[in-house]
Amino acid sequence: MRALLLTRYGGPDVAELHDVPRPEAGPDDVLVRVRAAGLNPVDFKTRQGMLKPVQRYSLPVVMGNELAGTVEACGRGVTRFAAGDRVFARMPKGAMGALAEYAAVPQDALAHMPATLDFAAAAGIPLAGLTALQALRDELKLMPGSRVFIPGGAGGVGTFAIQIAKWLGAEVTTTASPRGRALVERLGADTVIDYTAQRFEDHVRDMDGAFDLLGGETLEKCFGVVKRGGTVVSVAGMPEPLTARKDLGRGPLLTALFWIASYRLRAQAAKNGVTYRYLFMHPSGAELAELAALVDDGKLAPVIDRTFPFAEVAQAFAYLESGRAKGKVVVNIQD
């Protein structure tokens, strides 16, 4: 089968299409005929070797973290899926393998895709959709009337975050450039700050929580816009001790490393009376089924910016890496 293979860490040329054997499905796995795979910044960060401290792969490895397709075959222990089912998944951490004609997916990571979507639209949901759900509902615990700040609302995660925050009943303030304004307004953002013309820290205050998608200076400024007792959840800043213990299930060594690495950020947060949390999202078929139900109920819709044929996967990566995507970038594996 054709697959995008990472042979060493580096620039765009280290990931290429190759013919490789089909993956073997274990007893609890579903062999999926992949129709479309979503791209995420984690894909190029992995290729660059940036994530080696938390996630090492033995190379060569098939890339890709999320997919939609049809069930080709099921392992003996698989109870919830049957051949021909239309499914989608965020691949398990440490596995990848979505950018290929076939992928073996543990049934726990898999769900039936929304009935109302095609494969390309469904493939754009799992990683960014689960990240937004876990950050806003489980970490920030948004509820009706909560006020949340989401810097970077026009991208892959942001477009889900705005919709999920609105579904939870929150009031949403976000940032976007003029290129993204119409999109974030259509998704339900109550207040939009043009980050190319205004400093959000001059206009945003007393938020119950913030969901940072940009890291760096933006994250640091988020501590000043959340009221005392609130929380700033980031997926783009520096991991902290809970990231190691809760999200990665790792021991005291990585916990201590993250304690040191996040010390300055946690101190800044504490000075402002807020809590800093770095979330490393987790795959979950059960939570994906919740997202599918939201889509079929008309409460959530993936925003697909561009789709590319598999032969142009390098161009798809380059487009995502430009940092300008509006919603998701998806690769059609088989038409």
Ligand X SMILES: NC(=O)c1ccc[n+]([C@@H]2O[C@H](COP(=O)([O-])OP(=O)(O)OC[C@H]3O[C@@H](n4cnc5c(N)ncnc54)[C@H](OP(=O)(O)O)[C@@H]3O)[C@@H](O)[C@H]2O)c1
To ligand X, the closest distance from the beta carbon of 177 in angstroms equals 3
Q: Is 169 left (phi over 0), alpha (psi -120 to 50) or beta?
A: left
Pattern 55-94, ligand X, x by CB under 6 A: ----------------------------------------
Q: Which stretch binds ligand X (CB under 6 A): 117-125, 172-180, 257-265, 296-304?
A: 172-180
Interior/surface letters 203-235, b for 16+ CB within 10 angstroms, e for the rest:
ebeebbbbbbbbbeebbbbbbbbbeeebbbbbb
Is 39 a binder of ligand X (CB under 6 A)? no
Would you report the helix, strand and coil content of the chain in percent, each value rounded to 5? 35, 25, 40
Enumerate residues 6+ apart whose C-beta is below 8 A from 85: 70, 71, 112
Enumerate residues 6+ apart whose C-beta is below 8 A from 264: none
Burial, 49: exposed, middle or buried (Cβ in 10 Å; 0-12, 13-18, 19+)? middle
To ligand X, the closest distance from the beta carbon of 92 in angstroms equals 14
Nearer to ligand X, 107 or 175 (CB): 175
Angle among Cα 138, 140, 141 to the nearest 5 degrees reads: 60
User: How many chain residues are in contact with ligand X, going by CB under 6 A?
Assistant: 31
Is 152 a binder of ligand X (CB under 6 A)? yes
To ligand X, the closest distance from the beta carbon of 45 in angstroms equals 6
Three-state DSSP class for residue 115: coil
Is 317 a binder of ligand X (CB under 6 A)? no
Among 63, 128, 330, 333, binds ligand X (CB under 6 A): 128
Nearer to ligand X, 40 or 146 (CB): 40
To ligand X, the closest distance from the beta carbon of 240 in angstroms equals 12
| Positions that interact with ligand X (CB under 6 A) | 40-42, 127-128, 131, 151-152, 154-158, 175-177, 179-180, 195, 213-214, 235-236, 279-281, 320, 323-326
